[in-house]
Amino acid sequence: MFDAGVSVALVASDRPCRALEVATNARIEAVLIDRADFGGFTKVFDREAYSAELTRTLADHDIDLVAMAGFGTIVTATFHSAYPGRVLNTHPSLLPAFKGWHAVRAALEAGVSETGCTVHVATVELDDGPILAQRRVAVLADDTEETLHERIKEVERRLYPLVVGRVMASLDEGFEPVSVAGTLEES
């Protein structure tokens, strides 16, 4: 996002990660809202309290549009209600195929000849919101989960900032993201 010139007001993460360091180095405020403080990755994880804290943090920073990438916490309706149609997500498959955290592995296991990445509006339903853009990536005969995922990320790093920029422009004009950004095909 930084390299593409997208205006970033805040970077928030659900666990310690490199994104926080990158943001700090770019002089962008970074905040860790650690899952560990809400039960971590256990059965006692308080998803509702976590979602409420994330919502409060973003509201305190006057965030208008949320662009998730690698954010591994599924948030509740509390969060989505605060940002209706203004939470974007990127996913490493051509949705609706291969939803969930292990999409690249699932594509390889299914033996598909191509997969890709999707930018969509995130909703309460996992990987189910309106699709804003997709790009295809061929699956090579010698691909591993790691090599395929890295090639998908290369495409995603070009596509996601483009879509986020278009959505930001549409919000400035008073439109909702799902009404202005059609599916972008690979050219």
Residues belonging to the active site: 91
CA distance 132 to 149: 20
Please name the amino acid found at residue 177. P
CA distances to 60, 96, 126, 179 from 93, rounded to whole Å, are: 33, 8, 13, 22
With beta carbons less than 8 A apart as the criterion, state whether 28 and 8 touch: yes
* Prior bond of 96 cis (ω within 30°): yes
Strand partners, 91: 118
